[in-house]
Amino acid sequence: MSERNDFGSFMVGFIVGGLTGAVVALLLAPQSGEETRAVIKEKAIELKDKAGETYDEVAAKATAVAADARVKAGELKTKGQAVLEEGKAQLSRIGKGKEAPTA
């Protein structure tokens, strides 16, 4: 769980740092206002595309993790039910006096 939080923090820092660097570079670049606006527009389109790709990747990973969690939860449920049934059977045998309780 910690690795996911660290990765998320890294990605947020990476994106914020990249955006900050891009804005500073555009504002300090020796070009006209019209050229700067064109560059900003191009970079915004690129960023939008990259964000969409990143979203798709994260959504796919989240779906895979959720599916894996469902499978593991099902396995745990099955094991829990088996243990419960065995416990009931053991209590039933003890109640009928067929088996001595174990400590």
pLDDT at 97 over 90: no
Encoded tokens for 11: 């990605």
> The whole model's pTM is what?
0.46
- For residue range 30-62, what is the model confidence (pLDDT) as tens digits? 777 788 788 888 888 988 888 888 888 888 899
Sign of the Cα pseudo-torsion (53, 54, 57, 58, in order):
negative
**Per-residue model confidence (pLDDT) at position 26:** 72
pLDDT at 18 over 50: yes
